[in-house]
A and B are shown apart, each in its own frame.
Chain A
Amino acid sequence: MKIAIASGKGGTGKTTLSVNLATALAHEGSVGLLDCDVEEPNCHLYLKPPFDATEPVGTLIPVIDEDACTGCGLCARACEFHALLALPGPPLLLPELCHACGVCAYVCPEEAITENERQIGVVGSGLVNGIYFRWGRLNIGEARSTPVIQAVKDLDTAPPLDTVIIDAPPGVACPAVETMRGADFAVLVTEPTPFGLHDLVPAVQTARQMSIPCGVVVNRADIGDDRVDEYCAAEDVPVLLRIPDDRRIAEACSRGEIFAANDPSFASMLQTFASDLRARIHQRVTL
């Protein structure tokens, strides 16, 4: 099963849940952990893998043959992302705005545009603590992270995995959508506060629009108010797990440790949570 750990709001505990869940399941079978928050990856801070992310990830960028270009400007008019500017003469390319859609090459009547690969980030993978871990990093200054996210999600070189846990970037914009795409279930981590609820709502709407079943994990469940529960009840979104506001968990996090590695009862709670997820996915498939 592929579980995306997402949330509208940042800092709710996606990575904490991801690394703890992966650790709790590492003894049960083959588990993979993908850190798709490629703009600010942090699972590696907890797993401490002995390998870095070094494999290049590229995207396509137009290359204009200035001798063949007549300066007609059709490419710039066709570009949805304003990555090309029509000038008298060859157009000006603003590579950081390019989405690699290729429409400029498609519309060029002179066939003066070809596409070349340009590196925008790196990925890396390997085994650490019995977990197959894969992560990536977008180069600083790059605007579009989705090609790196796709590369992190590429499991062609991975061993067979029973469970894949995908740590998503916060929000509900393209990077989060790209991460959640293809998941069997979206676990939405929130906190029981007005901010948590405010950002949970679009996350639920996004999962529903993508036809991905979703449920909520309430982190630091003893703080705040009841409005997240009221929302979940009204919207028929299951609350799958409540993680207590336990100082020991926070302390482990702040030291870069994985609480479930040293606390069997917490690990057991996460194993039960994973079984519940598996049952929900199975039920949906057989319905």
Chain B
Amino acid sequence: MKIAVTAAGPDLSSTVDQRFGRGRYLLIVDTPERTVQAVDNQAGMNAAQGAGIQAAQSVIDSGATVLITGHCGPKAFRALKAAGIDVYLTSGGRVDEVLTQFEEGKLELAPAADVDGHW
């Protein structure tokens, strides 16, 4: 299964980026092997608007079925939900540690967006 995680750097030792649309990287992690494909999100970081939608499109295109990030706004959440992607929120940590928390069932499924747009 593929899990998308927003990250400050391109590998599993990076910390989770709290931002979704404007996160630095999007890591697509194939589990349980944990092979990583890093998507540079420079374009989303600098987008005037629609960064969350663009990032959601990247997640959808990657084939991931789960997203782990810090916060998720209403438009991105609506987009991810329409694509059937489950969103899990974390308060932070290294990507590999957060993935372990997810596998152990310690992350909570987000029922809705947790922040307003442009937070």
Contacts and interface: CB of A to CB of B under 8 A. Distances in A.
A86 interface: yes
B49 A92 contact: no
A81 B50 contact: yes
B49 A85 contact: no
Contacts, number: 39
Interface stretch (B3-11, B29-37, B74-82, B100-108): B74-82
Nearest to A80: B50
Given A81-B50, A82-B50, A94 B75 contact: yes
B67 interface: no
Contacts of B61: 86
B57 interface: yes
Contacts of B82: 85, 87, 92
Contacts of A86: 57, 60-61
A87 B60 contact: yes
Contact of A94 (B47, B53, B60): B53
A104 B16 CA distance: 35
B28 interface: no
Contact of B79 (A81, A92, A96, A143): A92
A81 B49 contact: yes
A97 B60 contact: no
Contacts of B57: 76, 82, 85-86
Given A94-B75, A94-B78, A87 B53 contact: no
Contacts of A87: 60, 82-83
21 contacts: A76-B57, A81-B49, A82-B49, A82-B57, A83-B50, A85-B57, A85-B79, A85-B83, A86-B61, A87-B60, A87-B83, A92-B78, A92-B79, A94-B53, A94-B75, A94-B78, A94-B79, A97-B49, A97-B50, A97-B75, A143-B49
Interface of A: 76, 81-83, 85-88, 92, 94, 96-97, 143
Given A94-B75, A97-B53, 9 more contacts: A76-B57, A81-B49, A82-B54, A85-B82, A87-B83, A92-B83, A94-B78, A94-B79, A96-B75
